[in-house]
Amino acid sequence: MMKKMMLIVVMLVLSCSLLMAAGAQENAKPVASVDGKTKISILRPGDQEKVEAFMAPAIAEFEKLNPDIEVEAIYESWGGWIQKYPTLFQAGTQPDVIFWWDNKQNDASARPHLVDLKPYLDQELVNKLPAAVWDLASIDEGKIYYVPSSIDIFTLMYNKDVFTAAGLDPNSPPKTWSELLKACEAITANTDVPALGVPAKTGMETLQEFMAHFITQATGKSMLGPNNEVQFNNAQGLAALQFIEKLWPHIQPSATDYGRGELRPMVRDGRIGMIIESAWAIPLFQSAYGEDLDKSPVGIATVPIQDGGIKATWAGTNGWIATRKETAEASAKLINFIMADEQLFAHHKAYGSFPITAYELSQPFYQYDFWQNASKTIQSYKLIGMIGKNSSTPAAYYSNLDEVWQQFLIGRINASQTLEMAVEAIERVNARQK
């Protein structure tokens, strides 16, 4: 009797669990309201106040032009989204339109949900984005699963007052690795501030991007090949690590406590000499000094390249994906709209993103030298993308390599040991994927 009662209880619990799961799936599906509108949701991760400033008016305008579509904006920080997205995709409760990463299109959580947008996109949109940007984002010839919206390349950002105090020319930032090291040495010797800020906070993926920048500059290749094979286990990769090792004495103390957000105000205020950063920092600087940073204490220049090496820079993009076939047409209409010239410019202006279209480059906001130099870099430098593009678990490379890079940063291993351990870390990830 007792066994029978236990069996009944187990069956009831299982039935309830299945009903709840089915309910979650059902709730995730697009539903038409009584007035016949298609309902879709959109997520652009980031600070809600900043996202809402351009997203709310954009959605209002879109709904006015498309009265048959109702759009719900979902707000979530980048950190929160990185933690949540695998669970949401697994449950089928992810937003319909998401601002995504180019290197996570093959992510096991997202890949089954991605919609080929090519049949729905305006050809004008396809044509206006630079070919180099599309190349960074493409994973399947003939199909478009992801529309790049912003491109991130590294620039050298520095405080001119710190340069002056160190005896350096504030109007002549370092152009090569050797000049970068000399600038670090001068700042360390002649001022009381750290020369170079390195974003090394655990779990933020930023230390990997700092390391990858120098490694890919030296090798001229992505760190991983088409089959996720290591492409930096060579003399060029070792040379990059040996150079980085020379920078470590000149970075901020307790580097693993700092992310990019902590370093930006430090260079703005002259509490650190230089950072290697993308456009994410520019709105903070402009809030202090106005749009024209050319006349501010903050200098923004092209990144130093290896002496005698190629003009190359780490690059990544964020862009838009659609995640449900049932709402693909409505989702694509929304993507077409937010990628229209005026809307894309509003998005980029809010975030200080680099201009990528001819329309943006014609706007007064982008006429300053620091913007134009960045645009020339995008057009003329070799852009080398983030790791993980061909992997179903791209985050695993970041987490495994992060442990190695941090050991290197705090001096527990040297450049040769770092190279060996980094290769082993990647091979462990590859072995698990087979």
The band of 19, judged by pLDDT with boundaries at 50, 70 and 90, is very low
Burial class of residue 192, CB neighbours in 10 A (0-12, 13-18, 19+): exposed
Given a cut of 80, whether residue 31 has pLDDT beyond it is no
Q: Is residue 28 included in any domain, yes or no?
A: no
205 and 306 share one domain: yes
User: In this structure, are residues 152 and 315 in contact, taking their beta carbons and an 8 Å threshold?
Assistant: yes
Q: Is residue 24 included in any domain, yes or no?
A: no
Q: What does pLDDT average to over the chain?
A: 90
212 and 323 share one domain: no
The band of 60, judged by pLDDT with boundaries at 50, 70 and 90, is very high
- The CA-atom distances, in angstroms, between 307 and each of 7, 14, 175, 177, 412 are 73, 65, 9, 6, 28
Q: Is residue 5 included in any domain, yes or no?
A: no
**Residue 59 is part of a domain; what is its CATH number?**
3.40.190.10
Determine the structural domain holding residue 194 and report its residue range: 155-315+391-433
205 and 287 share one domain: yes
User: In this structure, are residues 407 and 202 in contact, taking their beta carbons and an 8 Å threshold?
Assistant: no
**Token pair listed for 184:** 């670090």
CA-based end-to-end distance of the chain: 48
User: In this structure, are residues 371 and 355 in contact, taking their beta carbons and an 8 Å threshold?
Assistant: yes
- Per-residue pLDDT, averaged over 159-165, amounts to 98
The band of 183, judged by pLDDT with boundaries at 50, 70 and 90, is very high
- The CA-atom distances, in angstroms, between 293 and each of 157, 161, 173 are 11, 14, 15
Q: Is residue 101 included in any domain, yes or no?
A: yes
What's phi and psi for 318, nearest 5 deg?
-120, 150
174 and 271 share one domain: yes
Burial class of residue 18, CB neighbours in 10 A (0-12, 13-18, 19+): exposed
129 and 179 share one domain: no
Query: What letter would DSSP give residue 315?
Result: E
Residue 1: predicted pLDDT? 44
Beta-sheet strands, E only, within 81-143: 97-101
Instruction: Say which range, 6-10, 97-101, 151-155, 168-172, has the weakest mean pLDDT.
Output: 6-10
Residue 157: predicted pLDDT? 97
C-alpha 256: how far from chain center: 19
187 and 298 share one domain: yes
- The CA-atom distances, in angstroms, between 67 and each of 35, 94, 307, 327 are 10, 23, 57, 15
DSSP per position, 48-96: HHHHHHHHHHHHHHHHHH-TTEEEEEE---HHHHHHHHHHHHHHT---S
Residue 12: predicted pLDDT? 42
> Any residues with CB less than 8 A from the CB of 65 and at least 6 apart, and which?
337
Residue 86: predicted pLDDT? 94
pTM over 0.75: yes
pLDDT in tens, 221-237: 999 998 999 999 999 99
236 and 271 share one domain: yes
Judged by phi (left if over 0) then psi (alpha if -120 to 50, else beta), residue 46 lies in left
140 and 159 share one domain: no
Q: Is residue 11 included in any domain, yes or no?
A: no
The band of 132, judged by pLDDT with boundaries at 50, 70 and 90, is confident
Distance CA 334, CA 359 (A): 20
Distance CA 25, CA 92 (A): 6
Give per-residue burial for 40-74: e unless 16+ CB within 10 Å, then b.
Answer: bbbbbbbeeeebbebbeebbeebeeebeebbbebb
Residue written as tokens 């449900």? 324
280 and 429 share one domain: yes
Q: Is residue 23 included in any domain, yes or no?
A: no
300 and 361 share one domain: no
Burial class of residue 102, CB neighbours in 10 A (0-12, 13-18, 19+): buried
89 and 159 share one domain: no
pLDDT in tens, 317-366: 999 999 999 999 999 999 999 999 999 999 998 888 999 999 999 999 99
Total domain count, the chain? 2
Q: Is residue 7 included in any domain, yes or no?
A: no
Q: Quick one: which of 99, 305, 146, 86 has its CA closest to 213?
A: 305
Q: Give the largest CA-CA distance in the chain.
A: 89
Q: Is residue 333 included in any domain, yes or no?
A: yes
Residue 45: predicted pLDDT? 95
171 and 262 share one domain: yes
